[in-house]
Structure 1
């Protein structure tokens, strides 16, 4: 069964389908928040109605990069900070695939920060899960882009002199059309948010707080948390960009003061995705490009033919 004849198949889907037949032994540390991401993702897939054959998971380097080893689907383990360009290419070649990219805060907000901004700006139709534990975990505890100012680590033994990056605000200002934050300690909310993110047509960014009990004991386990949609203390319109921005700043300030605010922060349902924009201008075919590899009768276009049109 290929990724093409499996897409759109009507059948019941079970979360266990996303567990590899020969399940590898997870090498995440006991108590790691990454287990929460894996569980929430497996629970969300039946809600979205996607099978392993309809799904592509692209991961970066770091503890988060192991996600594709424990999740059964089409997978690609990319190099550091490059999960998004790989995911973008796959989605453009086969738009019917459910494309998910995943990486850590160092991978996504640091090394791959430029890809993060421009993928959001262009509003590519995919879900980007960032495992945010405020530390470089796989390389044994270096300061990351989300580590709080003053945080001491191997690379900043006297404490970080830099303010942490603000992931939610960065996603919004860059152009993401769905922005949310959840936490590994809130599995029900995590499943719901991942489901919404995958069902969203456009770039969906999920800042997923994942505790690191081994290398970042300062962050504890991100509890207690407050769901901003359930709390009477926070009333804002997630479809209003200005109100969303103000709420994101509150959440990002509160995180380093010991208050964890999670939930949906922004949702723009009307903005066309990158694929829709390119198809509207005629720069992208309606037929998935990848399907041409299965069409023996297709007459391939050559680059010199395309260049002739612009003379």
Structure 2
């Protein structure tokens, strides 16, 4: 059977510009927005990995980050608020040959989509999740978000937020993500390197991407200066040791609100099977992509009743 997705598996040199769409090539984000850094790093990472645009699916949520797939040439799905992950999960299970990336903001991903985030990490789906973390709701003009620091004043919290911010790296580790990193738009080289690693990783990769919002979050400034924890002699820990990673994450998340920006790789588990691998080992999923069956005229379709009968 010939493959329906002809670009998948093709080995060739890929240029960054191939991921720039012809219809809407120029992003409309505010000048100085950190989202430009995510777009540049993602284009560079896909080109470095030799991915064809037709091999990639980018699922986004709502907010400034939701425009990412409008400015990125690939298959795309613009979901509703907080729902990029379930669409990305289903797409990867239907066609595991696709390189699936999900993206959302800190409000989108850690707020309304927090439940999906937790369970996608727990199940270790083989997708990459980029969270644009600017500590506010940017598109709706600066309301307090789950990562806004305690005391942060906004239209929704005029006297300052009374709540402690969530700790996304620690939350990701406790939920079960097998690759966890933090980078920043002001560190483009590190950002691309981390996205390459995250995309290559077999399992759920979570990248907390600090993206400054110069329009609605003046407090966060530009997330500079930053420190790469892998390059600094002040921070030594084993990214494969869960306890050491947890301690480093806690230090990183506390330091951010004290004005020290720490970035880098924090945790990596290469031995854990992805959800897809677990299902295939149990015989619950075929090895060939389910999506291919829609293009196979010889396939004998199964009915839901056939599955129900097996459990009687």
* TM-score tier after normalising by the smaller chain length: over 0.9
C-alpha displacement at 1:23, in angstroms?
3.3
C-alpha displacement at 1:25, in angstroms?
3.5
Give secondary structure in 2 for the equivalent of 1:100: strand
Q: Normalising by the residue count of structure 2, what TM-score does the alignment of the two structures yield? A: 0.98
Alignment partner, residue 78 of structure 1: 79
CA contact (8 A) 2:4 2:295 kept: no
Aligned equivalents of 1:142 and 1:279: distance in 2? 44
The 5-angstrom pairing of residues 23-172 of structure 1 reads: 23-172=24-173
C-alpha displacement at 1:2, in angstroms?
8.1
Aligned equivalents of 1:47 and 1:199: distance in 2? 11
Q: Deviation per CA, 1:287-306, whole angstroms, max 9, x where unpaired?
A: 11000000001000000010
C-alpha displacement at 1:24, in angstroms?
3.9
Aligned equivalents of 1:180 and 1:25: distance in 2? 28
Aligned equivalents of 2:71 and 2:240: distance in 1? 35
Aligned equivalents of 2:73 and 2:47: distance in 1? 13
Q: Normalising by the residue count of structure 1, what TM-score does the alignment of the two structures yield? A: 0.99
C-alpha displacement at 1:283, in angstroms?
0.9
The 5-angstrom pairing of residues 216-255 of structure 1 reads: 216-255=217-256
Q: Which runs of 5+ in 1 are unaligned?
A: none
CA contact (8 A) 2:198 2:205 kept: yes
CA contact (8 A) 1:209 1:222 kept: yes
Alignment partner, residue 195 of structure 1: 196
Query: Stretches of 4+ moved more than 6 A in 1?
Result: none
Aligned equivalents of 1:32 and 1:91: distance in 2? 30
Number of aligned positions between the proteins: 311
Aligned equivalents of 2:53 and 2:228: distance in 1? 30
Alignment partner, residue 263 of structure 2: 262
Aligned equivalents of 2:38 and 2:226: distance in 1? 16
Alignment partner, residue 212 of structure 1: 213
Aligned equivalents of 2:165 and 2:64: distance in 1? 20
CA contact (8 A) 1:122 1:175 kept: yes
C-alpha displacement at 1:3, in angstroms?
6.3
C-alpha displacement at 1:44, in angstroms?
0.6
C-alpha displacement at 1:46, in angstroms?
1.7
Q: CA RMSD in A?
A: 1.1
Distance 1:2 1:160, change over 3 A: farther
CA contact (8 A) 1:64 1:102 kept: yes
Alignment partner, residue 307 of structure 1: 308
Q: Which runs of 5+ in 2 are unaligned?
A: none
C-alpha displacement at 1:132, in angstroms?
0.1
Alignment partner, residue 274 of structure 2: 273
CA contact (8 A) 2:4 2:292 kept: no
Aligned equivalents of 1:43 and 1:35: distance in 2? 12
Aligned equivalents of 1:135 and 1:199: distance in 2? 30
Aligned equivalents of 1:292 and 1:158: distance in 2? 57
Aligned equivalents of 1:283 and 1:200: distance in 2? 23
Aligned equivalents of 1:103 and 1:55: distance in 2? 17
Q: Deviation per CA, 1:264-307, whole angstroms, max 9, x where unpaired?
A: 00000010000000001111111110000000010000000100
CA contact (8 A) 1:244 1:266 kept: yes
Q: Deviation per CA, 1:183-220, whole angstroms, max 9, x where unpaired?
A: 00000000000000000000000000000000000000
CA contact (8 A) 1:3 1:53 kept: no
Aligned equivalents of 1:54 and 1:167: distance in 2? 29
